[in-house]
Structure 1
Amino acid sequence: MDYPGFLQLLNKAIQEPARSRQPKQIIRFNKASQYRECLSYLQKMKPGLSGLRSVQSSHLIRALIAPLACRDRLGKYQNGVAIEEDSRIRVHGGTAPLSAETVSTLPWGVKKIKAHQAWPLSTGSQIRIGVIDTGVDFRHPDLRHCLARGVNLLNRALLPHDDNGHGTHIAGAIAAASYERGAVGVAPGSIIYPVKSFDHNGSAYVSDIILAIDWCVRNRVHIINMSFGMKTRSKALLDVVNKAYANGIVIVASSGNDGKRQTIDYPARYPQTIAVGATDRFGRIALFSNRGPHVDIYAPGEKIISSWTNNRYHEMSGTSMATSHVSGAIALLLEKRPGLSPGEIKALLKRTASPIRRRSGTVSKTNILGEVDACRLVREGIKLK
């Protein structure tokens, strides 16, 4: 492949006037040697070709991410690479304001999954959780103890400050620790690595998520929390999820909030993730939650109180909130059993789950449905040989 010619053509295409277009193209190389050689030329040619300065790279899936109008601009070179048009992806969850005076130190979801009963054994100490979201409020008193620096993929010169609230809520549900007036999370000893990939509207692109997962793998997190989704399948996203899974990282993803009974959103639908649906206070599947055979585990997701921006608290409902409960429960497990693989953890989650209640009041007997039981998960994990 003529890499200088390819990059010169790419530079020209990037500099074309922007019309109504997808923001980026994901260009993947089939062979690692091709990617490395092209990347080497890219570094050499960037100083002289300004368009190439906007090209980003994902080492994990051997890809270049470029603000390109369409794949046809690459002419003959498009046959030598796999090109995917970037797609929109959004966080899961709605919000309602809540005053701090109504906050309970032990939120009902934490209590429902019996996380507090596991704390004498484990608080998730030193377990690193990458939260790919809208960032986090570094000044929130409930979160100061648990935050690593993380990364802002929208502006690498800045900290991943939260300008939406969703990411702060997720971080709090996982790892908040406040025994005075705030709400405590499922795993108050864990460490949150905020990865800001979503803007103030809770919107991102697949390419942002690819770079986020790439960052999480390079920084050796144990768990990735992905409280977002989209309806369409992405080969590039599946590829990077596969790579993270192969690196032993547990990926927890929300199923979506459309109330569908037989399908769920991506990336939760990929088998390499732990797909999470939401339950209500009565242990029933929440009406808004996607459900069905693709869901691996359920967790509290209705009217969840957690931290918010500007030292506040909000109540939110969604499979996003359920996902944060499962990430926290896995952190409790991993403190005691750090060698477990993602597949072993998924199997143990299912095996130790509590039965889901039907809306009629009866308990479901099917093995497909189960709500996470953090205390039993940890105890059974400790017993494993």
Structure 2
Amino acid sequence: MIGSDTGKDAYKEEENVYTSIYENMKNNVFTKQDKVVNKMRNGYIGILCDKTARIIENDPLVELVERDREVVINSIVDSKVPYFKVKDLFFESKNNEDEIILTQMNAPWGITRISDGEKYSFKSLYKYPSSAGEGVDVYIIDTGIEIDHPEFKGRAKWGINLIEKSPDTDENGHGTHCAGVIAGKNVGISKKANLIAVKALNKAGIGMISRLLLGIDYVIREHSKKIDEMSEITRKKFLNSVKIRNRNPKMFKKHRVPVEIDESEEYQFIKEINEADFQVIEKDKDKFLTSLEEYMNIEEIKPKTVVSMSVGGLRSKAMEFTIDYATMLGIHFSVAAGNDHEDACLYSPGSSKNALTVGASTQYDKIAFFSNWGSCVDLFAPGFEILSSWINKDYRVVSGTSMAAPHVTGVMALYLGENSYSPKQLYNRLIRDSYGVIEDEDAEITSFQEIWPISLLFDKENTNNFPLVSTKKLLGRVNKRKLQKVQK
């Protein structure tokens, strides 16, 4: 597996530049036995002999060369759900959409726990903002999704299938279960979020690092495409606005704001609009003078994209590099810590510093016996005996960090449904809004305190407590905004 690169902005380089690098290696380095299987925007996946791999690895234009490895789903047990429980779930899940905070009765324990806050009430009530993740696109890189499952109400769609000769559906159930926790209408957290299936694992729940990278590459392309679409819509809306129709474009010459040249999508967008429609950009040394920043709402061209990955394998630098780049573009990641009861930093994607890595907790706020741990674990979330959707319109109870990560994914979508956040901003917000209530009953074995100074993070004397993801503070802010509007 090859990561070809000309620097940190490799994904941004021109197609002809990348093609020339690739063609040069193909023509001058590859032997007859070497071949490329798949290409990405700044790399490729191939079958290469050791000599070729070493030559490419030493090329100054290449960031890294890595051998492909197997990855597997991070769930460990499942059981069918009695029909009467499913029937009760459907019956009790009716809400008054006029309310700003909605309450679901008889909800699964996992989603109930995250809205309870510091103490679990065991009342099976799930409270959530009425925005419910609306407008957020969640890509699930997994075994696929049964998109016509009743839980998804037309909000799930097929993205891409990276498993050769497999149907465009979930043959395993794992991906559908994760999707249900994230956005199921009865078993899920963000009940209005969009779900997109990225099938990178086979029927047995097994895949390769290379397939995960291709899945992330697909998300990056879709995210970039949506930026272009939203930019065009915003551009047209701006040009048709009252401000433009009632004023002469020459007004911009009188109201200019200096903007330093950079590589941001926002700046390039503003620059293109000025050049195309007003011809008023002037270059002054290292600055452009423009005024559209005063008038345009840049937030309108920022897609809200979240990736959920409940899969794991040995640590991969290529995976870390790819996630780092995707988050730089504004894509949010929630990943499973793994079920090896070991240091999560040894496994990918859990080792990524820019993804929210999630460990599993139980109904009694204990760390699940199987969950990975360590400094790479950012949050804990319910991951033991989790009820959610399954293939064939069914339901299952499943345990694993595979179930914990979707809880955080769903929470991320809830937050993004209320506000716009960069990946770093949302990461920090979820950490601040968490509650240090998860206890480690196996501290002597896992040596948590040696590698994770939780007392410094949470300013608590009880260093046996770890952070549980929670929406309680979000609900408080939503209610506060409602009261402020009423008072006005």
Give matches, 1:70-219, under 5 Å: 70-73=49-52, 79-80=58-59, 81=62, 82-101=64-83, 102-103=85-86, 105=89, 106-114=107-115, 118-155=127-164, 160-177=168-185, 183-219=186-222
Give matches, 1:356-375, under 5 Å: 356-358=437-439, 365-366=462-463, 369-375=466-472
Provide TM-score, normalisation by structure 1: 0.80
| Residues 145-154 or 329-338, more deviating | 145-154
Give matches, 1:232-243, under 5 Å: 232=315, 234-243=316-325
Could you tell me which of 25, 47, 64 is aligned with 1:67? Answer: 47
Structure 1: which 5+ runs fail to align? 1-24, 178-182
- Give me the whole-angstrom Cα distance separating, in 1, the residues matched to 2:147 and 2:476: 33
- Give me the whole-angstrom Cα distance separating, in 2, the residues matched to 1:223 and 1:382: 25
The amino acid that maps onto 2:45 is I
Q: 1:324 to 1:77 in 2, by over 3 A?
A: closer
Check conservation: 1:132, 1:212, Cα contact below 8 A. Answer: yes
Offset, 1:137: 1.1
Q: 1:350 to 1:368 in 2, by over 3 A?
A: farther
- Give me the whole-angstrom Cα distance separating, in 1, the residues matched to 2:171 and 2:423: 32
Check conservation: 1:71, 1:78, Cα contact below 8 A. Answer: no
Check conservation: 1:26, 1:86, Cα contact below 8 A. Answer: no
2:390 is the counterpart of 1:308: yes
The amino acid that maps onto 2:330 is G
Which protein is bigger by CA-based radius of gyration?
A: 2
The amino acid that maps onto 2:154 is H
- Give me the whole-angstrom Cα distance separating, in 1, the residues matched to 2:206 and 2:461: 36
Check conservation: 2:187, 2:387, Cα contact below 8 A. Answer: no
The amino acid that maps onto 2:169 is H
- Give me the whole-angstrom Cα distance separating, in 2, the residues matched to 1:276 and 1:201: 23
- Give me the whole-angstrom Cα distance separating, in 1, the residues matched to 2:24 and 2:82: 55
- Give me the whole-angstrom Cα distance separating, in 2, the residues matched to 1:287 and 1:174: 23
Offset, 1:41: 8.1
Give matches, 1:345-384, under 5 Å: 345-358=426-439, 365-366=462-463, 369-377=466-474, 379-380=476-477
Question: Residue 148 of structure 1: SS of its match in structure 2?
Answer: strand
Provide TM-score, normalisation by structure 2: 0.64
- Give me the whole-angstrom Cα distance separating, in 1, the residues matched to 2:346 and 2:211: 21
Question: Residue 370 of structure 1: SS of its match in structure 2?
Answer: strand
Check conservation: 1:252, 1:268, Cα contact below 8 A. Answer: no
The amino acid that maps onto 1:347 is N
Question: Residue 275 of structure 1: SS of its match in structure 2?
Answer: strand
Question: Residue 469 of structure 2: SS of its match in structure 1?
Answer: coil
Check conservation: 2:361, 2:438, Cα contact below 8 A. Answer: no
2:423 is the counterpart of 1:342: yes
Offset, 1:373: 0.9
Q: 1:37 to 1:65 in 2, by over 3 A?
A: same
Check conservation: 2:145, 2:175, Cα contact below 8 A. Answer: yes
Offset, 1:258: 1.9
Could you tell me which of 38, 47, 57 is aligned with 2:39? Answer: 57
Offset, 1:265: 2.6
1:19 is matched with: none
Offset, 1:231: 2.6
Offset, 1:292: 2.8
- Give me the whole-angstrom Cα distance separating, in 2, the residues matched to 1:145 and 1:231: 36
Q: 1:365 to 1:344 in 2, by over 3 A?
A: farther
Offset, 1:359: 6.4
Offset, 1:51: 8.2
Q: 1:210 to 1:266 in 2, by over 3 A?
A: same
- Give me the whole-angstrom Cα distance separating, in 2, the residues matched to 1:367 and 1:352: 19
Question: Residue 189 of structure 1: SS of its match in structure 2?
Answer: coil
Structure in which a larger fraction of residues adopt helix: 2
Q: Percent identity?
A: 30
Offset, 1:317: 0.4
Check conservation: 1:88, 1:230, Cα contact below 8 A. Answer: yes
- Give me the whole-angstrom Cα distance separating, in 2, the residues matched to 1:235 and 1:359: 30
2:357 is matched with: 275
1:28 is matched with: 4
The amino acid that maps onto 2:6 is N
1:8 is matched with: none
- Give me the whole-angstrom Cα distance separating, in 2, the residues matched to 1:159 and 1:151: 11
Check conservation: 1:255, 1:264, Cα contact below 8 A. Answer: no
Could you tell me which of 307, 312, 319 is aligned with 1:229? Answer: 312
Q: How many residues align?
A: 342
Offset, 1:251: 0.7
- Give me the whole-angstrom Cα distance separating, in 2, the residues matched to 1:29 and 1:263: 25
Offset, 1:212: 0.5
Check conservation: 1:143, 1:172, Cα contact below 8 A. Answer: yes
Check conservation: 2:320, 2:351, Cα contact below 8 A. Answer: no
- Give me the whole-angstrom Cα distance separating, in 2, the residues matched to 1:75 and 1:274: 33
Structure 2: which 5+ runs fail to align? 90-106, 117-124, 224-303, 442-459, 482-488
Check conservation: 2:381, 2:405, Cα contact below 8 A. Answer: yes
- Give me the whole-angstrom Cα distance separating, in 2, the residues matched to 1:367 and 1:272: 25
